[in-house]
Amino acid sequence: MTKPASPPGKQASSSPGLSRRAMVQVSTAIAAAPLVGCATEPTGGTVGAASAGVEPAPVMLRMTMQVNGQAYPLTIDGRTSLLDALRENMNLKGSKKGCDHGQCGACTVLVDGRRINSCLTLAVMHEGQAITTIEGLSKGDALHPMQAAFIKYDGFQCGYCTPGQICSSVGMLAEVKAGMPSHVTQNLQGAAPTLTDDEIRERMSGNICRCSAYPNIVAAIRDVSGAAA
Ligand code: FES
Ligand code: FES
């Protein structure tokens, strides 16, 4: 199973509140970081030995993130990923770090209702956008229907991938409702695609479960969507 090359729900968009100057500062810091201590002379000697091993000074940025309906004023290194900002700066540990390379989906959150791998985007790019993590899906003690379905259908074992699976499921159903096709959608002319099990598996293929709870995850999503088995 392969995830669509660039699923509509997994795209990042730049923040309207981020100034061009701040963005240039962040970009410059990121571009410079891997060069320090890495460049070598033809002879193999290190160029700029004085700077070798010296960490570039972080560009600290002030911003306010909107997560689960709450404002989080932050001062963070501009290179901080959204996932690290959530976990380390906002103490929201529900979003998990599996690979940190966009391969597993454990870090999936919703940004303005669209799913995104939070390890692949910078926090600074999402200032002002509405971010929803697994902690924000329930309403107090009332679980989100997808959370309840994962319990009902036993859609997890160790649970490490589960927050990402649930956030991705919620974003995925919104994509289907909006009529977005997937790689396996047969009829591209119709309204909303029919949510077959193949559609569910394809659309969720970016979320890996090492416990292989896939059949139960599909059953949970099918139930919430109202699709027939
Ligand atoms: Fe983000 Fe694996 S931790 S995709
Ligand atoms: Fe263990 Fe998915 S439940 S990785």
Query: Is the Cβ atom of 151 under 6 angstroms away from ligand 1?
Result: no
Q: Rounded to a whole number, what is the distance in angstroms from the first to the last CA of the chain?
A: 20
| Substitution candidate for ligand 1 out of 93, 104, 210 with most atoms within 8 A of CB | 104
Q: How many Cα atoms within 13 Å fall on the side-chain side of residue 117?
A: 20
Give the per-residue pLDDT at 189.
Answer: 80
- What is the DSSP code string of 175-224? HHHTT---TT-S-SSSSSPP--HHHHHHHTTTS--TT--HHHHHHHHHHH
Work out the mean pLDDT of the chain and round it to a whole number.
84
| Substitution candidate for ligand 1 out of 99, 111, 204, 210 with most atoms within 8 A of CB | 99
**Whether the predicted pLDDT of 49 surpasses 60:** no
Residue 132 DSSP SS3: strand
Give the per-residue pLDDT at 30.
Answer: 53
209-225 pLDDT per residue, tens: 999 999 999 999 999 99
4-8, 20-24, 62-66, 188-192: least confidently modelled range: 4-8
CA-CA distances (angstroms) from residue 81 to 41, 126, 179, 203?
32, 10, 30, 24
pLDDT band at 38 (very low <50, low <70, confident <90, very high): very low
pLDDT band at 227 (very low <50, low <70, confident <90, very high): confident
**Cα–Cα distance for residue pair 184/159, rounded to 1 Å:** 28
According to DSSP, the residues that pair with 81 across neighbouring strands are 122
Query: Is the Cβ atom of 107 under 6 angstroms away from ligand 1?
Result: yes
Residues with CB under 6 A from ligand 2: 156-162, 209-211, 213
